[in-house]
């Protein structure tokens, strides 16, 4: 990690202010404050559901009703969640011209709900269902009811348009994400350790292309001693609010950043 003086938040804000073409990579950690548990960890989804039994394409094709036990919980939890201050803070940074895109591994749609306009959904989203037999698409709200398994008009069980283990990343999302990583001046990594392939390649691509890597995670990750230039420890909301206040101190804005993201 590069030494950055006594105030790493101010240094991170300086990167954003000087380069003004930051890209953000987010993971489950940014949505924890919205009440969505991460997949890993003591209270994570994988403690309750073995991902090899519930979260692979093979499992869905073999036992779709069983997989929908987990998916029902995911759809319910994400449907009840609202964007938190971190989501709104990133949208504010985009509006001010400091952030140009968000690449998210999350499928909850909270970045868009929080106001972000340029969002690359690396793993898809839960707001759409797809038939893996006839490839017809439906809005989730039109086909899913709690306690029921959603069906296609062809009679097959629908799958959320999310990437399960064993499925490739949608080619357009991967292409756009890698292009953003290659051309950004700053990569903010928020709420993810970027361990899952191929998302783990994004920080490395950005670093090799000359970007500064600013990591926002409460603990050290595999990125911290490898590609990270500045590691800001704390919750995503707390740290992003501080960054927003720093970049706003030199901006003529109609209202304070804190009032915009609460």
Catalytic residue ranges: 123
The answer for residues whose C-beta is within 8 angstroms of residue 177's C-beta and 6 or more apart is 103, 120, 122, 202
Asked whether 121 and 173 are in contact (CB, 8 A), the reply is: yes
Q: CA-CA distances (angstroms) from residue 128 to 159, 209, 231, 237?
A: 9, 34, 35, 28
DSSP state of 58: H
Tokens of 201: 């390649």
The answer for residues whose C-beta is within 8 angstroms of residue 229's C-beta and 6 or more apart is 1, 2, 4, 212, 213, 214
Tokens of 162: 């999310």
Asked whether 202 and 195 are in contact (CB, 8 A), the reply is: no
3-state secondary structure 139-191: EHHHHCCCCCCCECCCCCECEEEECCECCCCCHHHHHHHHHHHHHCCEEEEEC
Helix, strand and coil content of the chain, in percent to the nearest 5, comes to 40, 15, 40
């Amino acid at each position: 990690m590069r030494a950055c003086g006594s105030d790493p938040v101010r240094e991170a804000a300086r990167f954003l202010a000087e380069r003004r073409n930051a890209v953000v990579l987010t993971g489950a950690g940014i949505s924890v404050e919205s009440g969505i548990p991460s997949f890993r960890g003591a209270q994570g989804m994988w403690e309750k559901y073995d991902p090899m039994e519930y979260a692979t394409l093979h499992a869905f094709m073999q036992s779709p009703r069983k997989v929908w036990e987990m998916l029902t919980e995911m759809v319910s939890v994400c449907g009840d969640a609202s964007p938190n201050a971190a989501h709104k803070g990133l949208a504010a940074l985009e509006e001010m011209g400091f952030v140009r895109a968000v690449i998210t591994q999350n499928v909850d749609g909270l970045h868009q709900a929080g106001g972000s306009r340029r969002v690359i959904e690396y793993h898809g989203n839960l707001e759409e269902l797809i038939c893996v037999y006839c490839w017809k698409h439906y809005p989730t709200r039109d086909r899913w009811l709690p306690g029921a398994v959603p069906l296609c008009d062809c009679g097959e069980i629908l799958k959320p348009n999310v990437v399960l283990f064993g499925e490739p990343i949608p080619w357009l999302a991967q292409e756009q994400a890698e292009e953003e990583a290659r051309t950004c001046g700053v990569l903010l990594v928020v709420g993810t350790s970027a361990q899952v392939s191929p998302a783990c390649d994004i920080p490395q691509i950005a670093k090799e292309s000359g970007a500064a890597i600013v990591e926002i995670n409460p603990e050290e990750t595999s990125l911290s001693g490898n590609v990270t230039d500045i590691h800001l420890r704390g919750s995503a909301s707390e740290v992003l609010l501080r960054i927003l206040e720093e970049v706003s101190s030199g901006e003529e804005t109609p209202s304070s950043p804190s009032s915009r993201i609460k």
